[in-house]
Chain A
Amino acid sequence: MSGICPEWEKIDPSEYKGIWVYMQVERDGIHEASLQMLSIARMLAEKKKTHVAGVLIGYNVKKYAKEPIYHGADEVYVVDDKRLEQYYAKVYAHVLVELAKRYKPEAILVGATMKGREFAPYVANSLRTGITADCTSFDVDPNTGDIVQIRPPFGAWMLAHIKTPNRRPVMSTARPNVFNVPPRDEKRKGKVIIEKIDELPDPGIKLIKRIPIERKEEIPIEKAEILVSGGKGLGSKEGFKILEELAKEIGGTISGSRKAVDAGWIPHEKQVGQTGKTVKPSIYFAIGISGAAQHIFGIREAKRVVCINIDPDAPIFENADYGIIGDYKKVVPALVEVIRKLRKRAT
């Protein structure tokens, strides 16, 4: 059978122009992950000789309309509506879908935050287009002009180059903190386009209560300069106390391997690796971490990797700059001692 799925509307890809970035708004303004997408959008737009637009959806969000422009957008679409005061994925998705139908962008980029990952596939599905998750880089095919979305699938050794050749818009989410926010320039000019959506769907859910969590003012691991990371080799949750001593001494942040998370020793948000976070510290301490490929993937961008492991055959030694073979329960306190002594001598 030839032809396309009858569930899909026929489209003409050549009618679709411009790179859109969805701007997730939180209590304190636009989410950094959304602004980071502007650097990808700018790069794609230069290569494709097209424009970049930000999309702001919510209530009392008009005040942020200039921000995407200062960070590289040429225009910003704003839907500011009392009915959008509370974020519901299904309702916000409907708004973005309606805008996309009106203006036909070639691509829509969404930061892969928790909300972004919940919301973007609904948008893509409603438009009957493809979506590629958690991209780590992008390119434009010089021959066809297609946007190439690059992501690591199926283990951590490969990069898949994915295209959406016949459907529009091309939709992608990209990992937060892989791309930098383009520098802010208040002299940049752009157009603000106010839009209205008449009918909104019923989300079918209602927020009853929100209980903010008092998170300690910790540096998220993807932004930490020094990471002290523990794995299964620590043997127990208490092992992390020894690591914390070192972290405190050198201004480091605690993280861990998937096995440490699975064992319940540290929370998932501190997991380094393919199914966790990509980190880029200047020093990464891998302590009691054997060094599975998925883990090594997450520390590709670390400047120096230090490992402490009792097993000299652990693959981590192949993937570290400086390795110490030994019991972390002895080596880590020794490190703390040595640094303290040197500090005393220096003062």
Chain B
Amino acid sequence: MGLDIIVGIKWVPNTTSVNIDEKTGTLIRTGVPSIINPHDMDALELALKMKDRYGGTVTVITMAPPHAKMGLEHAIGMGADKAILISDKVFAGADTLATSYTLAKTIEKIGRYDLIVMGQETIDSSTAHIGAQLASWLNIPYVYYVIEAEYLRSSHKLKVKRLMEDAYEIYEVNLPALISAAMHSQHPRRVSLKNKLRTKLENPIEWWSNGVLKLNPNCIGLKGSPTIVKKIEFMPKVERKREICPEKDPVKAAEWLVRKLMDEGLLKL
């Protein structure tokens, strides 16, 4: 028997391509494509690698608006077996507590699993909360920042390696468990044509609304969220001098710059 793995992903606006309207100071969101959170691609790759090596299944879950189906199709294209889109208006406005609760209940409904793999954090809100919160709801062991994972079949445990600020650490982990994959730790594979065809032929993506999950409305969405965003303010722009060097010659330009920095006492000889 192999490993049944669940991977949680987030469908995020590609913040690197979001621009600001200079006149109004607001975000230009129109035309900004959403993508699978890049750090979740590390999680997906780690899970797929384990499936390649030890057999089993990979199920991808996400809580998102309906258009996140595109992201799930991409995950199936990479080799995931199945995906669940948790989507319903009542889930909207959830903070990390309500989100993790909804995901935990989804995982309980899926039932059997050996391992949950999450990304280290997202590029849009960067909280890194959901992994630990899921582990708390499900009362399972968890380890963040994993760079390598090996399945010890005889003891049905995982051996993981993680990288901290000052050391590598190797742990044995009882299953079922949750791990988060360290960002940039994997090289996510490309979508294959064969797998992509599956999304068309086999319908491997399920849509779970709250009609399916039947969660108490007080525990989900805005109502199930203890934190409230009271105000969003734009940060004042830092005013810089914006002096451009008039010199074309590199040495003269360098002299110009060194003079400026020395005059301000910032550069000392």
Which residues of A pack against B, CB within 8 Å?
Answer: 1-7, 89-90, 93, 113-115, 117-122, 124-126, 128-134, 148, 152-167, 203-213, 215, 250, 258, 261-262, 264, 268-269, 274-275, 282-283, 292-294, 296-297, 300, 303-306, 317-327, 330-331, 333-335, 337-339, 342-343, 346
Contacts and interface: CB of A to CB of B under 8 A. Distances in A.
Nearest to B22: A318
Contacts of B172: 205-206, 208
A8 B114 CA distance: 28
Given A124-B97, A204-B173, A293-B20, A338 B226 contact: no
A258 to B, nearest CB: 8
Contacts of B202: none
Nearest to B134: A125
B219 A5 contact: yes
B164 interface: yes
A275 B159 contact: no
Given A130-B226, A131-B96, 17 more contacts: A5-B223, A114-B164, A121-B136, A126-B136, A133-B129, A153-B125, A155-B124, A165-B228, A208-B170, A268-B183, A293-B20, A320-B241, A322-B257, A322-B261, A323-B243, A324-B256, A324-B257
A298 to B, nearest CB: 12
A137 to B, nearest CB: 11
A250 B126 contact: no
B132 A121 contact: yes
Interface of B: 13, 15-16, 18, 20, 25, 27, 95-97, 100-101, 123-133, 135-137, 140-145, 159, 164-174, 177, 183-184, 216-219, 223-235, 238, 240-245, 248, 250-251, 253-258, 260-261, 264, 266-267, 269
B226 A158 contact: no
B165 to A, nearest CB: 6
B240 A321 contact: yes
Nearest to B141: A204
A131 B251 CA distance: 52
Contacts of A167: 226
Contacts of B184: 261-262, 264, 268
B269 to A, nearest CB: 5
Contact of A318 (B123, B225, B242): B242
A241 B25 CA distance: 38
Contacts of B267: 250, 283, 339
Given A261-B184, A304-B266, A325-B244, A158 B233 contact: yes
27 contacts: A114-B144, A114-B164, A118-B144, A120-B132, A121-B129, A130-B96, A130-B225, A133-B125, A157-B20, A158-B233, A160-B231, A160-B232, A161-B229, A166-B226, A206-B171, A206-B172, A208-B171, A208-B172, A210-B168, A264-B184, A268-B184, A296-B238, A304-B264, A324-B245, A325-B245, A326-B250, A335-B258
B167 A210 contact: yes
B132 A125 contact: yes
Given A157-B20, A303-B266, A275 B171 contact: no
A159 B174 contact: no
Contacts of B100: 125
Nearest to B223: A5
Contacts of B225: 130
Contacts of A323: 242-245
A205 B253 contact: no
A339 B27 contact: no
B269 A209 contact: no
A5 B145 contact: no
Given A212-B166, A334-B250, A134 B126 contact: yes
Of the listed residues A207, A275, A342, the one surrounded by the most CB atoms of chain B closer than 10 A to its CB is A275
A31 B174 CA distance: 29
Contacts of A304: 261, 264, 266
B244 A317 contact: yes
A283 B167 CA distance: 31
B269 A339 contact: yes
Nearest to A129: B226
A149 B154 CA distance: 48
B177 to A, nearest CB: 6
Contacts of A6: 216, 218-219
Contact of A153 (B124, B130, B258): B124
A250 B218 CA distance: 59
Given A320-B240, A339-B258, A161 B230 contact: yes
A70 B169 CA distance: 33
